[in-house]
Structure formats: C-alpha cells, structure tokens
Amino acid sequence: MAEMRIDCPVCGAKAGAISKIDTSNIPYFGEVVENSILCEHCGFKHSDVMSVEKNDPAKHSLKITKDNLDSRVVRSQTSTVSIPEAGIKVEPGPKSQGYVSNVEGVITRFISASNRAKALYPDAESQKNIKETINFLENILEGEAEATLLIEDPYGQSKIADLKATTVPLTEEELSQLQTGFTIIEKDEIEKRE
C-alpha cells in the first residue's frame, strides 16, 4: 500500500489530504487498484476502484441467495448498480464512489441510501414506499426475498466475483440509456412497486 500527502482538490490545503493507493487481487477478475483521498481540513473524501486489465462494457447479474452474500463485488465509479425487485438503483455521478465490497455490503449501502432518502422525501406516501424498500432489502439479507443484483458498467471496470454470476455485453441501446447523472434512488421505480 502506498500513502502520500497531496494538495486537497477541494479546499486546496497544501499537503492537506492523504491519498492511499492499494492493489488487491479479486478472484475471477484480476488485479484492481483502490484509490482513496481524505482531507483533514475540509473533510473531503473520495474513493474509486479501477481494474488493471481492460474489459468490455458489460452487464453483470447475480441471483442473490443467503449463500452468496459474501461474494466479492467490484463497483467502479462509472457503473450503475441496481436491485430491480427492490426498485432501487445507484447511478454514477460526480459524488459516486467506487468500492470493493461483497453482496451484503452493496445491500447495506442501499439500506443506508434509503434511510437518507427518508429525509429528502418527507411526504407520507414516500415514507411508506421507502419503508417497504428497506424491509424488502432486509428480507434479502435474511434469505427471505428473491432478488437480483445488477451492475451495468460502460467501461468494464466492475465485476461480481461469483461463479454463478452471469456477464453479458451491454447492447448499444443499453449503453445509450445508462445515466451519468447523480441519483441515489429512482423515485419512479419506488412508486411503481405499490
């Protein structure tokens, strides 16, 4: 692991931020480089992960079961992560983070995002929908609900490292529909679940 002090890209503090670079080897994927920046002055935090190898645009999917919650997941900053059955999706954007985690970690991130959304959508209907989404996500973790983890990555930097995961190339149409904006929860999808 390499660590160095850099000028903060946000507040400009001279040598105010610590940049860490770590490489690790993910089974069925290869070597990845994790990079994180943390500024002690303004609190700016960023992390991303990149594959050393070049890969094609791809859609990865995995039927989530209790047995594969610990399978490794590489989510690059440029990919869209979703659990369609839960009506929840994280799209890439300036604030999105790349990370190496596991299936459980991705679901936990979705639960945290849903809890944050509670504050953004105070109306009763949204609160009800968000509560249902959180319950559903918790049921997935308990092995009581069936769901699919989907990662769509136009730059081929992501992966679900599980033998049962499937990988197919993204079609031109899917590529053109992938968002680059910043959205935590697709509200339309939540409303459709009623």
The nearer residue to Zn ion, 17 or 32, going by C-beta atoms, is 17
The nearer residue to Zn ion, 8 or 58, going by C-beta atoms, is 8
In the shown chain, the binding pattern of residues 32 to 61 toward Zn ion, with x for contact by CB under 5 A and - for none, equals -------x-xx-x-----------------
Q: Does residue 121 touch Zn ion according to CB under 5 A?
A: no
The whole-angstrom separation of Cα 103 and Cα 68 is: 7
Q: How far is the CB of 7 from Zn ion (least distance, A)?
A: 9
Stretch that binds Zn ion, among 2-10, 54-62, 153-161, 178-186 (CB under 5 A): 2-10
The nearer residue to Zn ion, 37 or 150, going by C-beta atoms, is 37
The nearer residue to Zn ion, 11 or 52, going by C-beta atoms, is 11
Q: Does residue 165 touch Zn ion according to CB under 5 A?
A: no
Stretch that binds Zn ion, among 11-19, 50-58, 94-102, 161-169 (CB under 5 A): 11-19
Where on the chain is the footprint of Zn ion (CB under 5 A)? 8, 10-11, 13, 39, 41-42, 44
